[in-house]
């Protein structure tokens, strides 16, 4: 059975809700068939969020990590393609008041990492289910990108057999109410989109991740794992 770690962010600012947390709870209560799923909430804090992610990975030893966050300015479920080595929280501090500007997520780390999810296949599968979804080429420079880059760096430097990526979810309808030009998606719909994303990735687990070296392509991704 494939082991999947799903993460979401706690609420931040004055909003008592976070769409990723609400959708994630629903997925945890009804995970896709054939997977063992662990759900973890991450603090809306630079540094602490990556530390908690690493702890969850060490504790659960997943085959796949799907990290999620809220993209309140987005009308659909967006699967992120690229994480960049930049924290630039010029518009808002985190919950502890940290506000890094023009700082690397990982000092001396690569400029960027591609997701190791089958991004386009995931988006197509979600769309085929009638749920709005697109590929995103930027996770911003705040905590969504911070965690995405931290996860990608962990995979690249310590856990090459792990796959992982990031998806952002629109506001919930109750959050969008009163916000001008804000789209929304129900927690139930977002949760189903996440389930499809998980199933699509699990179906592709025997394919090499994006950027895999030619020699590594001769090995299946699960060559050292028992399914």
pLDDT score for 175:
86
Q: Give the bridge partners for 65, in sequence order.
A: 5, 164
Give this prediction's pTM.
0.89
pLDDT in tens, 76-104: 999 999 999 999 999 899 999 999 999 99
Query: Which helix (H) or strand (E) is 156 found in, with range?
Result: helix 143-157
pLDDT score for 12:
83
The number of CA neighbours under 13 Å toward the Cβ of 108 is 1
pLDDT score for 15:
76
Instruction: Using the predicted structure, report yes or no on whether residue 170 has a pLDDT greater than 60.
Output: yes
Instruction: Using the predicted structure, report yes or no on whether residue 208 has a pLDDT greater than 90.
Output: no
pLDDT in tens, 213-222: 433 332 333 3
Q: How far apart are CA 84 and CA 90, in angstroms?
A: 16
pLDDT in tens, 121-154: 999 999 999 999 999 999 999 999 999 999 999 9
Question: Are 162 and 87 contacting, i.e. CB atoms less than 8 angstroms apart?
Answer: no
pLDDT in tens, 27-57: 999 999 999 999 999 999 999 999 999 999 9
């Amino acid at each position: 059975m494939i082991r999947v770690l799903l993460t979401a962010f706690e609420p931040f600012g004055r909003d008592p809700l976070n769409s990723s947390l609400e959708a994630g709870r629903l997925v945890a209560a009804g995970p896709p068939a054939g997977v063992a799923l662990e759900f973890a909430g991450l603090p809306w804090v630079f540094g602490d969020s990556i530390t908690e992610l690493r702890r969850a990975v060490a504790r659960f030893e997943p085959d796949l990590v799907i990290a999620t966050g809220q993209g309140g300015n987005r009308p659909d479920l967006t699967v992120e393609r690229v994480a960049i080595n930049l924290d630039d929280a010029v518009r808002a501090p985190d919950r502890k008041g940290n506000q890094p500007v023009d700082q690397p997520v990982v000092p001396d780390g690569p400029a960027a990492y591609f997701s190791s999810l089958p991004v386009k296949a995931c988006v197509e599968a979600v769309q085929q289910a009638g749920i709005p979804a697109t590929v995103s080429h930027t996770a911003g420079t705040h905590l969504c990108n911070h965690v995405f880059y931290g996860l990608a760096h962990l995979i690249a430097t310590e856990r090459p057999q792990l796959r992982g990526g990031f998806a952002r979810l629109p506001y919930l309808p109750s959050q969008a109410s009163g916000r001008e030009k804000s789209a929304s998606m129900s927690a139930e719909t977002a949760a189903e989109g996440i389930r499809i994303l998980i199933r699509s990735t699990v179906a592709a687990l025997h394919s090499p991740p994006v950027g895999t070296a030619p020699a590594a392509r001769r090995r299946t991704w699960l060559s050292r794992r028992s399914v």
